[in-house]
Structures are given as C-alpha cells and as structure tokens.
Amino acid sequence: MTDSPAPRHEAPVRTIAFVQYPGLTPLDIVGPLQVFSLLSHLAPGYDTAVVGERIEPMATDTPLSLVPSHTFETMPDPYALIVPGGTVPTLAAMADEKLLDKLRTAAARSEIIGSVCTGSLLLAAAGLLQGRRANSHWNYRSLLAEFGAIPVAERWVRDENVITAAGVSAGIDLALHLVGELAGPDIARRVQLFLEYDPEPPFGPIDWAAADPGQYAPQRRKNLQRALADHPALLERLID
C-alpha cells in the first residue's frame, strides 16, 4: 500500500488594492493600476482591486467617473494598499475621519502601503507617515511635515514598507519599481514594454528651478481654504 500524495497548497494571491474616493485624479489611480493589471497577467499570484466606500460611480476631477470593484469590507486585507491623490477633494478628505479610519484599518493588515501624488497627505492625516520619509506633489510636499512626516523630493520614496510617489505620472514609475521588487526586473521590463512606457515629453524635461512653490502659494492657499472651510483648526495648521 502506498501513501497518498500530500495535498498541494497554492500560494495565496497577493492583491494590490487602490483606494477610490470622490474627486481623485484619474491618472493617479489608472496609471499604476494598469501596470499592476499587467503584472497579474504575466506573473501568477497577483491580482488588482479598487476599493471604495460603496460600489457605485464616483466623480473624479475630470468628466470621467470611476466605479470601485470592492468595498473596504469585502477587501479587508490587501497585500498592498495604494492611495491616489487629487486637488481640492483630496485636501478635503484629510478631514474625513471615516475614510481615514478605513485607511488605518486596511493599512494595518497590508504588507505595503503606498500613495501617488497628494494621496500621501491622506496617509499622513491618518497618522501613517509619522517619522517616515515621504513625497507628494511638489506644490503640496511641505504639508507632509505638519503631520510628522519627512518631506523628500524624489520620484518615489521607500521607507520600510511605505512607498510614496511624486505627482500624478510618478505613480507609473512607483508601480514599475514595485513590480521589479515583487516579480523581478525581467517582468518589470516586459510590463514597461507592453505599456510602451518610454516618455519623450514634447517640451523636454521639467525645469525644476522654475517650479517655485512660493509662486503657486496663493493657489495652494485658495485650494486649502475651499477644501477645509468647515475644519478651521486643520486649515490654520496647514495654511501658509
């Protein structure tokens, strides 16, 4: 009599979950989501999800609306949790304790916590960047310090299990970097190839010397006032 073969145990699927809330910037979520969606096709064991409070169309800061695939309750413990950013709606979400609490709960069960653009301000407002090196959109990066984070001007910043990207398009770079960590550089290069991600901006690289936050401080102040008019204590803390 021979022993029966031991049952095979498949490795659990690692889900990369993106947080959706009203008013976010579509490229912040769609760019890196596309990267990880390709990863799920090229490497077994990975999946993607978009989580929100409800599964219904949500407005963005463009005419496009997006619909989450899951709620926080049906996707309670993703492998990675990534928060996209935006402008006034994202700044207003810094005072949304219901959303911040969901971020804290999901982040506590995630192996990797990330953000794109001003999404890092939501992580910071939730207390998840205390003492961490982090980045955001260049015009809002300084606000991170008000929540105990250490602002860093890099395309993406990794501090232990937290990774934060600069503004908007930097989310694609962050995602490719993470694909390289998770599945290796060969898979990451294939993803980059299939996306044909080979930027050649028609006006050349950004002149960072001309990107003076002081020049844009009045607009930043106006956006904060619009977003946080009902939260004067937080507004006073963040305003110039």
Q: Which residues pair with 47 in a beta bridge?
A: 15
> Which residue has 């490719």 as its token pair?
176
Beta bridge partners of 14: 46
Q: How far apart are CA 168 and CA 91, in angstroms?
A: 15
Instruction: Show which residues are catalytic.
Output: 117
- Host H or E run for residue 168: none
| Cα→Cα distances 198→29, 95, 182, 192, Å | 19, 38, 21, 8
Residue carrying structure tokens 């978009």: 50
The token duo for 72 is 């926080």
Give me 213's structure tokens: 């936050």
Dist CA 3 CA 196 (whole Å): 51
Torsion angle, alpha carbons of 38, 166, 106, 33, to 10: -20
Place of tokens 């102040």: 221
Tally Cβ neighbours within 10 Å of residue 146: 14
Rounded Cα distance between 17 and 82, Å, is 6
